[in-house]
Amino acid sequence: MPKDRIEEMNRLFTIENNWHDILYIHTPFCVQKCYYCVYSSKEPSDTGELDRFYNRVLPQQVELYRPALEAGAFEQVYFGGGTPSIGSPSQLEKTFEGIPGFKEIPVKLTETSPFTVTEEHLELYSRYGFTFVSMGVQTLDTRILNAQNRRFVERETLTRYCDLLERYGIISNIDLIFYLDTGGLEDLSYSRKDLNVLMSEIRPASITIHSSYMAKKSLEKQGAMIGLIKEMLAKYPEYRCTNALLEESELEEDMTYAAEYRLMRKEMDFHYYMTPKIPESHRYGHNMIALGAYEKFKPRYNYYYIFDYMDKYSFKSLLKKYRFIYDNFLNTRDRLGLSSDNYKVPVHFFKNEAGEEVFKQVIKDARLPHCAPLRGGSIVEPKRKDLV
């Protein structure tokens, strides 16, 4: 991000607001690159490259955003990747200690891979108050994993990790990917086996089901995917889908936006910004600063109606889309009989008029476009001549 944009983000994130402020930290490394992956990561050239990232690159970015980080407004911190658990416990602990106010952030989440995470990692997460640890398993089928250049981990190891996380009071999540083999309906046979093992033996607190980005989409496949999920929920009623109704009326939207279904057996009201089923790049009601820029990876940021890709999209249509998706999610929670209180954001963004005036001044000084919501909740789109 240009240095002037960093200064603007620092000024903006010191303004008290009624939305959720999120800190995202990206790890741009994996031990090997899986063929299905569409995310930004690379294999480190050597252990020295990891050391440079954790000892120099990331601390420098923390320093750039220190004013915002020291404001202490962040409600959530999410470590994504890549593979955050590729860092050693000592490297990660140094990272945690280097982030101002890290221990006070109430909700802490991290992604891991089951073949890089260790019990020492899990003890570290417990000691620093992590809330949610996700393991990217994708499938328990060794043939498919080998074909995708991904390592296999025994189910006993996964069970041990989930049990340990439960003892620590941390929500364990396992990610699965459907249609990862041939991309056709026949793939559901391995997904059924995976879910049977997960829900009866390994028993993570949460299971997140994705569909392979490489597989061709169709309503038939989306419907079959939902049908299998409903079948398994009926078989294992301890679990519930907490972010989708799994109804036929949702098929087209779910297919279009690559829906992710979350099945949980505890903590069903747990809130973090990735819970809704549609993987939006910028969640409505959430402000984000992202660290971990490295080589070709540029983390996305946003703050209130300001986006990093502000020169490419129509603000009005973008915001309407995000708000529509989020309102649908809240309605879904209500229909499921689950609380949506933690997800709702007030109509008014600013806590006071002084904060709104600071926001306007920052925007004016930076010559940034923005959409100012009217008191009635509608959106005013900036004029084309005001766009940078």
Distance CA 323, CA 384 (A): 22
- Looking at 3.40.1130, 3.40.50, 3.20.20, 1.10.600, the CATH number of the domain 3-386 comes to 3.20.20
Q: Give the three-class secondary structure for 286.
A: strand
- Per the DSSP assignment, residues forming a β-bridge with 78 are 24, 109
Q: Are 79 and 111 in contact (CB under 8 A)?
A: yes
Q: What's the confidence (pLDDT) of residue 346? A: 87
- Using omega within 30 degrees of 0 as the cis cutoff, is the peptide bond preceding 227 cis? no
The kind and range of the H/E element at 174 are strand 171-178
List the single range of 36-50, 251-265, 305-319 with lowest mean pLDDT. 305-319
Distance CA 29, CA 229 (A): 32
Output the CA angle 69-39-103, nearest 5 degrees.
25
Alpha helices in 176-314 (DSSP H): 188-197, 219-235, 251-256
Distance CA 242, CA 206 (A): 10
Structure tokens at 89: 């416990």
Mean pLDDT of the chain: 90
Output the CA angle 58-61-65, nearest 5 degrees.
140
| Residue 303 amino acid letter | Y
Answer yes or no: is pLDDT of 375 > 50: no
The angle that helices 353-366 and 3-12 make with each other, rounded to 10 degrees, is: 170
Q: What's the confidence (pLDDT) of residue 352? A: 92
pLDDT tens profile 223-282: 999 999 999 999 999 999 999 999 999 999 999 999 999 999 999 999 899 999 998 877
Backbone conformation region of residue 183, classed left if phi is above 0, alpha if psi is from -120 to 50, else beta: left
Answer yes or no: is pLDDT of 88 > 70: yes
Q: Give the three-class secondary structure for 200.
A: helix
**286 closest CA partner among 11, 1, 9, 17:** 17
Tell me the C-alpha to C-alpha distance, in Å, between residue 321 and each of 86, 114, 292, 314: 35, 35, 28, 11
Distance CA 72, CA 352 (A): 18
Confidence of residue 343 (pLDDT cuts 50, 70, 90): confident
| 372 vs 172 pLDDT, higher one | 172
Output the CA angle 168-174-176, nearest 5 degrees.
180
> Length of the chain, please?
388
Q: For 380, list phi and psi in degrees, rounded to 5.
A: -100, 120
| 374 vs 186 pLDDT, higher one | 186
List the single range of 2-11, 56-65, 76-85, 118-127 with lowest mean pLDDT. 2-11
Output the CA angle 34-38-40, nearest 5 degrees.
90
Q: What's the confidence (pLDDT) of residue 47? A: 82
Structure tokens at 81: 């990747």
pLDDT tens profile 151-171: 999 999 999 999 999 999 999
Give me the mean pLDDT over the 316-331 stretch.
Answer: 86
Whole-number percent of the chain with pLDDT over 90: 72
**Domain-by-domain residue ranges, the chain?**
3-386
Distance CA 312, CA 211 (A): 28
Whole-number percent of the chain with pLDDT over 70: 91
Answer yes or no: is pLDDT of 336 > 80: yes
Q: What's the confidence (pLDDT) of residue 383? A: 45
pTM: 0.93
Give the up-direction half-sphere exposure of residue 237: CA atoms within 13 A in the CB hemisphere. Answer: 1
Distance CA 77, CA 73 (A): 11
Give me the mean pLDDT over the 319-323 stretch.
Answer: 83
Q: What's the confidence (pLDDT) of residue 364? A: 87
Answer yes or no: is pLDDT of 218 > 90: yes
